[in-house]
Structure 1
Amino acid sequence: MEFQEYLEERGKAENTIQTYLGHVRGYILWYEESYGQEMLQLYHVNILDYRSYLENIKRLKYNSIDAKLSALSSYNEFLIENGIQEEQVITAKDRLKFQQMIASPADIEKQEVDEFLQEVLVETGKRNYAIATLLAYAGLRVSESVNILLTDIDFQARELRVIGKGNKQRIVFINDKIIHAVRDYLKERKSQSEYLFVSRKGGKLHRSSVNRFFRQCSDRITPHKLRHFFCSHALKCGYSIPEVANQAGHSSERTTLLYTNTSRREMKEKANRL
């Protein structure tokens, strides 16, 4: 798909590309089912109808609708650049304004995280324990963790080079928990692969393997929840907002600000005082 190449040329992350492609395919399917003809270009009135369909029929949350419209906006730019249509039909006014979360996205506490990490160690081994510890105490994304090279980690400097979204590089500082976990894993690692975390066959580990051991060890904690935990916990431990944004690879500090909000637990406690 030419749109995929267009996104790749603009340095979009693989997950973002696949999400955008899915959103565009969803719109094309809706268009063809609604109007009985092939979709050749975008029309403003159709976009408004689609937005109404998502909001009132599908009952999607505003942030989900906004994500779909964002993908269509990029597709609109692609169509213009390729001479398929002339005007940008999706504007900022068309994007639904949605209320930012009042509660912090983090909903797990440190004790729960540490109990989960121990479960991972006991039930699935040192490699998975090292991965989960990295996610919890360095704030990495799963895609970032499986792409770490052996040469990216510097134990003496306590630094880790990470390639994030859009192939942006950052330096993440790592603590004793991570260093001990990774070193312990490396003692039993037997592979010539350049990647730090390898599969049983010795090749690069796939993100699906990470998701699999998370499901095995918890029906509540996910890799993304550990990332939320890191951001919230780091702020509580004295990190500044810019420091957390850098560690987690947030493109905007506004994302990091969400973690300064009251926790769900605290909000529920306050509700019981009413």
Structure 2
Amino acid sequence: MNDIVEDYLHFLTVERGLSDNTVASYKNDLEQFIIYLKEHNFTSFAQLQRADITDYLHQETALKKANSSIVRSVTSLRRFFQYLLHENQITTDPMLLIDTPKKERHLPEVLSRNEVERLLETPNTGTALGIRDRAILELMYATGLRVSEVINLRLADLHTTVGLLKTIGKGQKERIIPIGDTAVYWINSYLENGRPKLLKQKRSDFLFLNFHGNQLTRQGIWKNLKIQVQKAGITKNITPHTLRHSFATHILENGADLRIVQELLGHADISTTQIYTHLSKRRLSAIYEQTHPRA
């Protein structure tokens, strides 16, 4: 069974061209599934029936797995068994009558504009690492880039003279995004005064580097952000994605068209973008209650 999964993951990478993160997600889901199958003495995917799948999903629920994890697991299994059917590894698809659980929609945490300002000002811009961190924060808030898109930016993707950058998002979709003047200023400061000191004697096409002159990682940005959030005195549960949420919410509050926000964020479906209109309404209600004398 492990060999079949490896073949499938290779198919996703080579034939489907899915990103490393997406393939890793499928791999994790399928590895958990195989552990369950071996614990219950299954030796082949062809043995499985609908009841076996539902038993597995009931166990996942009993283990108090997050709703989003179970939804993703169902999606992973559905696509995997479609692949097995196409490759004649099975004769019937046990996922055919399995319903995907409804995905819970939680409004994401968003920073206020004052909190954004405090966060942006926390890095010590008297150091190379501080200039880099300020440039990263300014860029993420100015563009709404995902953290994976930030770490994979290359020098050739920047067009600061015209205030634009190119990025490759989910599904290998390319998009062009405008950068604000403030973010351009800090990126240029980093390119002139920060990056050369981090690069040292090495060569790299990546924009953001770590202390050793190598490509900065997702974990590196998370670790640095935790420190910055603490310094800024922000008590909310903040992740790199919070800057993306804040970017979308704030420009919608200032009158941006939802379709434009969809394009900037790289959402395939506008229903994903619509969550930010709920955030704007929630904040509008909060401001009303705080300011109206008869609220």
Determine if the TM-score, normalized by the shorter chain, exceeds 0.5.
yes
Q: What are structure 2's unaligned runs of at least 5 residues?
A: 1-5, 231-236
The alignment status of 1:202 with 2:213, answered yes or no, reads yes
Identify the residue that residue 24 of structure 1 maps to in structure 2: 30
Q: Tell me the equivalent position of 1:179.
A: 184
2:90 aligned with 1:85, yes or no?
Answer: yes
Displacement of 1:253: 0.9
Q: 1:254 aligns with which of 258, 262, 271?
A: 271
Per-residue deviation at 1:266? 6.3
Percent identical among aligned pairs is 29
Task: Note if contact 2:262-2:273 (Cα within 8 Å) is conserved in structure 1.
Answer: yes
Are residue 237 (structure 1) and residue 254 (structure 2) matched? yes
2 CA distance for matches of 1:27 and 1:271? 48
1:33-48 alignment to 2 at 5 Å? 33=39, 35-41=40-46, 42-48=48-54
Select 1:111's aligned residue among 110, 114, 119: 114
- Provide the C-alpha distance between the structure 2 equivalents of 1:173 and 1:134, rounded to a whole number of angstroms: 10
- What residue number does 1:73 align with? 78
Alignment check: 8 A CA contact 2:109 2:238 kept: no
1:129 is aligned, of 121, 128, 134, to 134
> 2:121 aligns to what SS in structure 1?
helix
Q: CA deviation at 1:270?
A: 9.0
Residues 231-262 of structure 1, C-alpha deviations (whole Å, 9 max, x = no match): 11121122211211111111211110011104
Distance 1:92 1:241 in 2: 36
Q: What one-letter code is carried by the residue in structure 1 that aligns with 2:217?
A: H
**Structure exhibiting the larger radius of gyration computed from Cα positions:** 2
Higher alpha-carbon deviation: 262-271 or 8-17: 262-271
* C-alpha RMSD of matched pairs (Å): 2.6
Q: Does 1:211 align with 2:217?
A: no
2:143 aligned with 1:138, yes or no?
A: yes
Distance 2:183 2:118 in 1: 16
* One-letter code aligned to 2:24: Q
- TM-score of the two chains, using structure 1 as the length reference: 0.88
Give the distance between the partners of 2:55 and 2:245, measured in 1 at CA.
35
SS in structure 2 opposite 1:94? coil
User: Would you say the 8 A contact 2:50–2:97 is kept in 1?
Assistant: no
Match of 1:53 in 2: 59
2:8 is aligned to 3
Which residue of the partner structure matches residue 165 of structure 2? 160
Cα separation, partners in 2 of 1:28 and 1:268, compared to 1, 3 Å: farther
TM-superposed deviation, 1:180: 1.0
Q: In the alignment, which of 105, 121, 140 is matched to residue 100 of structure 1?
A: 105
State the match for 2:233 in structure 1: none
How far the C-alpha of 1:64 sits from its partner, in A, is 2.5
Aligned to 1:196, the other structure's residue is in SS state: coil
SS in 2 for 1:119: coil
Structure 2-normalised TM-score?
A: 0.82
Question: Take 1:268 and 1:238, find their aligned partners in 2: how far apart are those partners?
Answer: 18
Gaps of 5+ in 1: none
Larger RCO (CA under 8 A, 6+ residues apart)? 1
Paired with 1:76 and 1:244, the residues of 2 have a C-alpha distance of: 35
Amino acid at match of 1:157: V
Q: Could you tell me how far apart the structure 2 residues matched to 1:248 and 1:128 are? A: 22
